[in-house]
Amino acid sequence: MTAPKYDVIAIGNAIVDVMAPCEDALIEQLGLNRGGMTLIDTDGARDLYDAMGPAKEISGGSAANTLAGLAALGAKCAFIGQVADDQLGEVFRHDIRAAGIDFATPVRAGDPPTARCLIFVTPDGERTMNTFLGASQFLPPAALDETAIADAAVLYLEGYLWDPEEPRSAMRRAIGVARDAGRKVAFTASESFVIDRHGVDFRKMIKEGLIDILFVNESELATLTGEADFDTGLAQIAPDVPVLVATRSAQGAVAIVDGVRAQVAAEPIDKVVDTTGAGDLFAAGFLAGHVRGESLENCLTMGAVAAAEVISHYGARPEADLKALVAARLG
């Protein structure tokens, strides 16, 4: 087998976070779910965007965040995701390419527009999020760069994107391409509600040996296995997944590879500012170690370091030098 061009190629939602400060009165006036997250449609997204004051635009999306962390750690990465031919689509394309990640998915003409999360930040720092999934839900199999997928050591799939029909078909096709090329498939469950909707699919893929690396958090593991006890859940699923990684927030993380278990504590930080992207960056650190042949414990430690960095500030992309932080931690 030839050496891959990419360490990791990911398929996920292409979303732009649009953040703007506002007064509490605007939250009330707009009838928003203060401090919560609400899914909105095209008209709602346009109305809320028009109601926002001066905003800061930051590209997001779970798998894209993971790639940003991987690239910051020196990995060679590519992304497949759908944006529209509009201003926020251009923002997303610019940001991901500026991070050193290859992104060549053709833009989608017409409606719906590029996915965005409109975030209203009140003076107390509370974030009220309104998410429009837009064009990201319409990634067709025809948009896949199959040559790039076959030329990546790991194909990383975002569970959030399993819900809409088109990208689900695209990801099924991508799994076939990766496996035919002898590459590994990594999957992140993303959220318990995704497992509630598609758990039959996920369990079937696991049983059929289609997933080589599975990322779950403690809640997702319980939903996937039906076991409330963490260790019982691990024992149920580990025999069917070559690499199982389970995070437990402040309690650290566990990984099991071929029956060998390793675990690490969470990295200490002065203050948790924003937990958005913690799981995404943990996956980034773990995969960065995995593709360069680090020990299982070192992979977990790299994940914990990356997660600790991202929860120490607002936003789901790393701001500090992850390479330096990992080097200092591993010695």
- Domain membership of residue 72 (yes or no) is yes
**In the structure, what pLDDT confidence band is assigned to residue 1 with cuts at 50, 70 and 90?**
low
Q: What is the pLDDT of residues 151-183, one digit of tens each?
A: 999 999 999 899 889 999 999 999 999 999 999
Separation between Cα atoms, residue 221 and residue 228, nearest integer Å: 9
| pLDDT tens per residue, range 112-152 | 999 998 988 888 767 788 989 999 999 999 999 999 999 99
Stated pTM of the model: 0.91
Q: pLDDT tens digits, residue range 39-69?
A: 899 899 889 989 998 988 888 889 999 999 9
Flag whether 54 is in a domain.
Answer: no
Domain annotation covers residue 43: no
Task: Please tell me the predicted confidence (pLDDT) of residue 96.
Answer: 95
The CATH number that applies at residue 145 is 3.40.1190.20
Q: Kindly state whether residue 123 falls inside one of the protein's structural domains.
A: no
| Full residue range of the structural domain in which residue 223 is found | 6-13+61-113+134-330
- Each residue's pLDDT tens digit, 263-294: 999 999 888 877 778 899 999 999 999 999 99
With respect to residue 36, please indicate whether it lies within any of the assigned structural domains.
Answer: no
Residue 119, domain member (yes or no):
no
CB distance 297 to 306 below 8 Å: no
Residue 271 pLDDT: 84
Flag whether 128 is in a domain: no
Is 267 inside any structural domain? yes
How many structural domains are present in the chain?
1
**CA nearest 268: which of 330, 326, 318, 312?**
312
- Among 186, 300, 306, which Cα is nearest to 247's? 300
Whether the CB-CB separation of 79 and 144 falls below 8 Å is answered with no
Q: Which residues contact 327 (CB under 8 A, 6 or more apart)?
A: none
- pLDDT confidence of residue 276: 76
